Amino acid sequence: MKRWLFREPPAGSPPRGLARELSISPLLLDILWRRGLDSPEELDAYLSARLPDLVPPSRWPQLPQAAEVISKALLDGKKLAVWGDYDVDGITSSTLVLDVLEAHGLEALWHVPDRRSEGYGLNIPAIEELAAQGCGILLTVDCGISDMAAVARARELGMTVVVSDHHLPPPELPPADAICNPRLGPEDDMPCPHLAGVGVAFFLMAAVNAALAPHTGRRFKMDKVLDLVALGTLADVMRLGGQNRILVRGGLDKLAEAARPGIAALKTVSGSDAAARLNAGQVVFRLAPRINAAGRMGAADTALQLLRSKDHVEALRLAQHLDALNTQRREEEERIWAAAREQAHRQLEQRQRPALVLYGGDWHPGIVGIVASRIVEEFYRPTIILCDDNNMMKGSGRSIREFDLYAGLQKTAHVLAGFGGHKLAAGVRLEPNQLERFREAFERVVADELGEQPLTPALLLECELDFQQASDSAFLQELELMQPFGAGNAEPVFASPELTVVDRSPLGYSGDHVRLRLKDSASGITLMAKGWNMATAFPPSSVGSRIRVAYTPRLDYYRGVASIDVGIKDWQPVAD
């Protein structure tokens, strides 16, 4: 069970009549007000999130210069190669660039590095190969901001180099002809520092598109690639505020249309109708893993080919291949998860630990990051999971909100061969003989920051909501105005009043999940609720018990018929 924390309202209260002015209920206004949207202008921008409200490319730091460098080189007859990352953000970024150039009749090369043999970022051998293929412009997307030597080598080979990236810039920037990164501008004038790589590519290519149009006689409609922007932004777990909210909301509309054969095929193999409207969570848990599986299992090229395909038959074949890779990934993940979980239990039985460093020689380097996230979810400790990689150890780390993982790793740099990342996720490399030294150093750093005892995760709640309000379809439809949900815009979670467990039944094939019939003691209203991985918390003997739940109510549509879906996030017993 978690600590329940209610959102604190900001100073003051909403102006009288504001809810009526915005055509929303006082309850929704109160929810948004508690989230810091405390002016009519902010509230209107949040609720409308219109594409015309996107910031023009000229407002982004150094973007106009980067677009000018690219368009001039293209018009001079140079061939462009786009270099992306092997994850969803990188693959959608590369696809977006290729789509825009193709619309202007320009052919381009592309390179997605192999995760195991090349790793993240630029590398000199592949750059030399692109030069041999006639590359005159190297455009990086979702990478490149730290690749000093590789960028320098590309320049030596005569390439025009433009770095387009969204990662935190290092103190010294690579020697590119132009750099486009939303974090390079003044902090008080950043339109949106939390763009994904595909978001940066979108604004950059919008400017390139405008610059090329007078010369090619063509102009690409940039809204056609919003499906890619939504997919990459959601998969990279970027904050869904400001520009990202506008881009993703528009992109979800495009994903629903599924005009791109690869998207239609991807929806089909993931169990959705090609014409189905997916919410942000469904994009993250259905579409994104299948694209990510390609990079994790060494076939990132296949994912890019899928998104670029113009043929529905070919797209379905490629999507089925990605689906098979994703099945392999899940099987491998479950194997690693079982071993890592057992290892974590053994370590904690030996003594209390503030952090976990786990190791398996044959664990897949493309999957340990997913498992680290699951370990953190269960044990709520900063976690590093390591595996063997070419006579070295390589791994991924995930953290909790109270601990800055990147800052912590900086304090253990003396025992690492290399590391990189941010507050909640990181990658590390170390010599095998340094494992115990690293484990001791990392545990000491975490203990100094958080103490020896493990923390209890907190669950942020909006307010108390009884079942009478939760069964009001008008209110539930109104909550949809807050979509898309994700990082920085969490789905509202409410605290229930006292409830009685009227009935209980297992849910799903595994038996890990449970369906409860819950009765609001005050109103007498009964609703069905689902508890994922809560079967052991609610055994058959729990029927008749009194509880409170933290829950998310929403409307669910099946074959056009609406029903109320209640998801249990946490629960507390009610004392007699």
Instruction: List pLDDT tens digits, range 315-362.
Output: 999 999 999 999 999 999 999 999 999 999 999 999 999 999 999 999
372-393 in b/e form (b: 16+ CB < 10 A) is bebbbeebbbbbbbbbeeeeeb
> Could you give the CA distance from residue 468 to residue 527 in angstroms, rounded to a whole number?
10
Query: What's the rounded mean pLDDT across residues 274-280?
Result: 94
Q: Largest Cα–Cα distance in the chain?
A: 80
How far, CA to CA in Å, does 39 sit from each of 131, 483, 488? 53, 20, 18
Q: What angle do CA 112, 118, 122 make, to 5 degrees?
A: 65
Query: What's the rounded mean pLDDT across residues 178-190?
Result: 86
What is the dihedral angle through the alpha carbons of 252, 258, 260, 263, rounded to the nearest 10 degrees? 80
Query: What's the rounded mean pLDDT across residues 24-29?
Result: 95
Decide if pLDDT at 576 tops 90.
Answer: no
pLDDT of residue 16: 84
pLDDT of residue 463: 95
Task: Report the SS3 class of residue 371.
Answer: helix
Q: What is the mean pLDDT of the chain?
A: 95
Helix (H) or strand (E) holding 460: strand 458-461
How far, CA to CA in Å, does 304 sit from each of 180, 529, 554? 23, 39, 35
pLDDT band at 189 (very low <50, low <70, confident <90, very high): confident
pLDDT band at 104 (very low <50, low <70, confident <90, very high): very high
How far, CA to CA in Å, does 532 sit from each of 2, 330, 375, 462, 529? 15, 18, 17, 21, 10
> Could you give the CA distance from residue 177 to residue 193 in angstroms, rounded to a whole number?
22
Contact present, 3 and 458 (Cβ < 8 Å): yes
Residue 347: CB atoms within 10 A of its CB come to 18
Decide if pLDDT at 558 tops 80.
Answer: no
Q: What is the pLDDT of residues 260-270, one digit of tens each?
A: 999 999 999 99
pLDDT of residue 562: 79
Q: Alpha-carbon Rg of the chain, whole angstroms?
A: 25
Query: What's the rounded mean pLDDT across residues 218-222?
Result: 96
Q: What is the pLDDT of residues 57-97, one digit of tens each?
A: 989 989 999 999 999 999 999 999 999 999 999 999 999 99
Q: How many residues does the chain have?
A: 576
Q: Peptide bond before 484: cis, by omega within 30 degrees of 0? A: yes
pLDDT of residue 420: 84
Task: Report the SS3 class of residue 257.
Answer: helix
pLDDT of residue 556: 84
> Which of 101-110, 114-123, 327-336 shows the lowest mean pLDDT across its residues?
114-123
397-424 in b/e form (b: 16+ CB < 10 A) is bbbbeebebbebbeebeebbeebbbeeb
SS (H, E, C) 135-182: EEEEEEECCCCCCHHHHHHHHHCCCEEEEECCCCCCCCCCCCCEEECC
What is the dihedral angle through the alpha carbons of 184, 188, 192, 198, rounded to the nearest 10 degrees? 0
How far, CA to CA in Å, does 376 sit from each of 342, 365, 401, 550? 14, 18, 11, 21
pLDDT of residue 356: 98
> Could you give the CA distance from residue 189 to residue 315 in angstroms, rounded to a whole number?
42
pLDDT band at 495 (very low <50, low <70, confident <90, very high): very high
Decide if pLDDT at 11 tops 90.
Answer: no
pLDDT of residue 510: 83
pLDDT of residue 575: 84
pLDDT band at 158 (very low <50, low <70, confident <90, very high): very high
> Which of 184-198, 237-251, 361-375, 471-485 shows the lowest mean pLDDT across its residues?
184-198
Region 351-450: CATH code: 3.10.310.30
Please report which residue ranges of 217-311 form alpha helices under DSSP H: 226-235, 242-257, 261-269, 280-282, 288-296, 300-308
pLDDT of residue 211: 98
Decide if pLDDT at 421 tops 90.
Answer: no
pLDDT of residue 482: 97
Decide if pLDDT at 184 tops 80.
Answer: yes
Enumerate the domain spans of the chain: 57-221, 351-450, 460-573
CATH, domain 57-221, list 2.20.25.190, 3.90.1640.30, 3.90.79.10, 3.30.1330.100: 3.90.1640.30
Query: What's the rounded mean pLDDT across residues 262-289?
Result: 96
> Could you give the CA distance from residue 51 to residue 245 in angstroms, rounded to a whole number?
10
CATH, domain 460-573, list 2.160.10.10, 3.50.50.60, 2.40.50.460, 1.10.730.10: 2.40.50.460
> Could you give the CA distance from residue 547 to residue 529 in angstroms, rounded to a whole number?
13
Decide if pLDDT at 26 tops 90.
Answer: yes
Decide if pLDDT at 187 tops 80.
Answer: no
Query: What's the rounded mean pLDDT across residues 384-392?
Result: 94
Contact present, 529 and 516 (Cβ < 8 Å): yes
pTM of the model: 0.93
pLDDT of residue 34: 93
